[in-house]
Amino acid sequence: MAQAVVIGAGPAGLMAAEELARAGHAVLVAEAKPSVARKFLMAGKSGLNLTKDEPFETLLPAYGQAADWLRPILADCDAGMVQDWARGLGQELFTGSTGRVFPRAKKASPLLRAWLERLDGMRVAIRTRWRWLGWDGAAALFDTPDGGQRVAAGATVLALGGASWARLGSDGVWAPVLAEKGVPLAPFAPSNAALAMGWSPHMTPHFGRALKSVRWVAGDRVSRGEAVISEKGLEGGGLYPLTPALRAGLPLHVDLVPDLSHEGLRRRLAATSAKTTLSRWLKNGLRLPPQKVALFHEMTKGCAVTRADWVGLLKALPVRHAGLRPMDEAISTAGGVMRSGLTDGLMLKALPGVFCAGEMLDWEAPTGGYLLTGCFATGRWAGRSAADWLSAQAVLANSPSL
């Protein structure tokens, strides 16, 4: 049997390995860290959001500019397929009120254990502490606890991650290796990232509190979801979908009362005494929680705010910030291997027989199940394409020469 090497043991790499093994190929998975799927396990600590249970045509737009070229890949591994796959590993699932799908156990570890057991039964060999260094001719080079290793393979799948959370393995150090081979790369940039805020001392009591029932707007991107006030800034699923717009420098606004119209607010304000202060109206008239009131005052500090401005600011409060937090703190990254450098099967045009999957590809998606679904889908697609490549090479090798 032809041998395949998968470099990177996150969800994309393990899915590629599974597809290759299912096709009958001997598979070696090389992982630089001491254990596999570290970022996957970290994501599962707060509840492993596997996918978003929604129709394919509703799911697809979450992938933004990459949606067109990801269409066949995601159609082959949509939300329904991800759920079937997880159930096939013995995982009971449930769908939350927002459509997010989780294992009943909530954590990632039970699913990962079942997955590794399946791969072991399929005779997939996994080697940890094997850091990929590049190639020497046709052989992949690895730095291992037992010294340097050279592995020649008929097909290679790279699933090396993006450039965030370096401590978990996604460090982006592979980029120069591929660039030297002529692979087109887009610069890395933070995605699903928190905002840096230079809070004044009066915000300190609100650290750790969530801003709920709010509507965030940046350019043409709108998100209704919560964000947490932290010592470093603002973070949470409500802000993450806006990252592309915030990277582009578009201003951010928040509607603190999205369920009340401008007219409804004006009527409420008109019913109050002219002597009513802003703080009293926010707290007693609208019954806003303390963290919302604090944010309103923080963002309007130093501004001449009149009674006539109150409604407009509540509905579109400018959020002054210091940009996105550093890329290594981001949940994921944009950038990486560009679509122009890939075949439809995710094979590198500059390196026949080498395929790419997961976050190292130049696509991004928000959290909420979309990011992980994209990793599963590209891993599956690359694994199947690599298996097809091996089969085609075997046919060529056995064909009589002309």
For residue 398, the one-letter residue type is: N
Cβ atoms of residues 240 and 331 within 8 Å: yes
pLDDT at 1: 40
Q: CA-CA distance, 232 to 234, in Å (whole number)? A: 7
Divide the 402 residues of the chain into consecutive groups of 10 and give the mean pLDDT of each group: 87 98 97 96 88 96 96 98 98 95 94 98 97 95 96 97 93 97 97 97 97 97 96 96 96 98 96 94 96 98 94 98 96 97 98 98 95 97 98 84 52
- Is residue 216 classed as helix, strand or coil in its secondary structure? strand
**Chain-centre distance of CA 294, in angstroms?**
31
Residue 401: exposure state from Cβ atoms within 10 A (0-12, 13-18, ≥19): exposed
**Number of alpha carbons in the 13 Å side-chain half-sphere of residue 226:** 12
pLDDT at 78: 97
Buried residues in 5-20 as b, exposed as e (16+ CB within 10 A): bbbbbbbbbbbbbbbb
Cβ atoms of residues 234 and 240 within 8 Å: no
Q: Where are the beta strands (DSSP E) in 19-161?
A: 26-31, 51-52, 93-95, 100-103, 125-128, 131-136, 139-144, 147-152, 155-158
Q: CA-CA distance, 113 to 322, in Å (whole number)? A: 41
Considering the domain 3-190+330-398, what is its CATH architecture? 3-Layer(bba) Sandwich (3.50)
pLDDT at 402: 47
- 189: closest CA among 55, 296, 327? 327
Could you give the C-alpha distances from 167 to 31, 34, 373, in angstroms and in order?
A: 13, 11, 23
pLDDT at 2: 54
Domain with CATH 3.50.50.60 in the chain: 3-190+330-398
Q: CA-CA distance, 378 to 317, in Å (whole number)? A: 39
Q: What is the pTM of this model?
A: 0.94
